[in-house]
Amino acid sequence: MSETEQHNVQQSVQQGAQENLSAHHTRQHSTQQHGAQSSPSVRFTNATVTRGHRVIWTDGNFSIPRGTVTAIVGTNGAGKTTLLDVELDLLHLSNGSVEVLGLPAGKANEKIGYVPQNYASDIDSNITAEQSVRLGLDGTRFGIHRMSDQQRDKITQALQLAGIENHRKLRLSEMSGGMRQRVAIAQALVSDPELLLLDEPLANLDIAGQRDLVDVLAHLAEDLGMTIQIVAHDLNVLLPILTGAIYLLDGHPHYAPIGQMMDSELLTHLYGTKVEVLKTVQGDMFVRPDPHVEPENRPIHTHTPAEAARFHSDNKPADDNARQMEVR
């Protein structure tokens, strides 16, 4: 999808947010009072997607509970962004079905916050952070209507959640990539989403920027109970907050809880190069390429969905999959 199309999509996802604000507050409140709703955040059934004449992936069969933080991982071109497109009903399946927040894909879009790849590269960077976040409330109507007190409060709240309330008057052109990424997140949050979809939000951020962003996501997930999906290439920085991962392997999407995902055999197949899962004495886990493998010895495997599913079917505790190392 072109960047302009992505931006239009982002706006269409956010359209109706203003009208739904009060209804959404009621919904959120009742969810907090009565616990998580019973339907999963997403449910894929026999899902196959094609673009043009090309099959991107097939046999998607999984569901993910609400209140979870899920990475979407796979090699370049495996179909991670495509998976988000399917959840937003920007792309129809050629077979099977997808439910999002208990409804057919597309029907719950006003409850979804979406942060596309490369945010701000195609919008007017002369606008301020506050104006940009306001686009999440009234989209294309920006600039025509006066802001109500309620809207102003919502924008302030979203800027606070993203940790940029002190920069609301700064123009995007004056901001670093990390700061713009936070503006994009604030824009997605301003409509009080139940599900937040982020497409490679960590790309182009330095280590401190990545950690700051993960802290923001941790607050949204842990304190506000938001369900989050994040397309990412590097699992390490996200590991402290991840509950699971959708992994695209050999043309099929699978879901695994994070403990089962941290398996060096599975990750080696997934990344197409030998990787190790290591555990520090403090109990933190991380993934790294095996430094002893020469490039020409990299394994190249293809697997059926059933074979791939076996990688995480034996419920091995995560500890069994990880080498322990001393890091103090």
Ligand X SMILES: Nc1ncnc2c1ncn2[C@@H]1O[C@H](COP(=O)(O)OP(=O)(O)OP(=O)(O)O)[C@@H](O)[C@H]1O
Applying CB under 6 A, the span of 71-79, 221-229, 259-267, 312-320 interacting with ligand X comes to: 71-79
- Shortest spacing between CB 257 and ligand X, in angstroms: 22
The secondary structure of residue 52, as a DSSP letter, is T
- Residue 277 binds ligand X, judged by CB under 6 A: no
How many residues are recorded in the chain? 328
- Shortest spacing between CB 227 and ligand X, in angstroms: 20
Helix (H) or strand (E) holding 88: none
Single residue of 74, 136, 201, 251 touching ligand X by CB under 6 A: 74
17-49: burial string, b at 16+ Cβ within 10 Å, e else: bbeebeebeeebeeeeeeeeeeebbbbbeebbb
Q: Which structure tokens are listed for 246?
A: 């959708």
C-beta of 52 vs 291, nearer to ligand X: 52
Sign of the dihedral defined by the CA atoms of residues 98, 100, 106, 112, in that order = negative
End-to-end CA distance of the chain: 45
C-beta of 201 vs 259, nearer to ligand X: 201
Q: Which structure tokens are listed for 107?
A: 């029907």
> How far is 242 from 235, CA to CA, in rounded Å?
9
Residues in 5-64 at the binding interface with ligand X, rule: CB under 6 A: 51-52, 56
- Shortest spacing between CB 127 and ligand X, in angstroms: 26
- Shortest spacing between CB 271 and ligand X, in angstroms: 12
Q: Which structure tokens are listed for 206?
A: 């330095």
Single residue of 43, 80, 134, 182 touching ligand X by CB under 6 A: 80
- Shortest spacing between CB 148 and ligand X, in angstroms: 38
> How far is 317 from 158, CA to CA, in rounded Å?
38
C-beta of 81 vs 131, nearer to ligand X: 81
C-beta of 45 vs 50, nearer to ligand X: 50
245-284: burial string, b at 16+ Cβ within 10 Å, e else: bbbbbbbbbbbbbbbbbbbbebbbbbbebbbbbbbeeeee
Q: Which of 192, 8, 195 is nearest to 84 (CA)?
A: 195
Applying CB under 6 A, the span of 11-19, 77-85, 153-161, 286-294 interacting with ligand X comes to: 77-85
Structural Rg of the chain based on CA atoms: 20
Q: Which structure tokens are listed for 283?
A: 């109990």
Q: Residue written as tokens 């203003």?
A: 18
C-beta of 143 vs 272, nearer to ligand X: 272
C-beta of 1 vs 170, nearer to ligand X: 1
- Shortest spacing between CB 83 and ligand X, in angstroms: 7
C-beta of 232 vs 258, nearer to ligand X: 232
Single residue of 6, 68, 82, 128 touching ligand X by CB under 6 A: 82
> How far is 215 from 43, CA to CA, in rounded Å?
27
- Residue 301 binds ligand X, judged by CB under 6 A: no
Q: Which structure tokens are listed for 196?
A: 């937040």
Q: Annotate each residue in 220-239 with x if it binds ligand X (CB under 6 A) or - if it does not, as one string.
A: --------------------
Applying CB under 6 A, the span of 75-83, 162-170, 278-286, 320-328 interacting with ligand X comes to: 75-83
C-beta of 40 vs 253, nearer to ligand X: 253
Applying CB under 6 A, the span of 76-84, 234-242, 265-273, 284-292 interacting with ligand X comes to: 76-84
Residues forming contacts to ligand X in the complex (CB under 6 A) are: 1, 51-52, 56, 74, 76-82
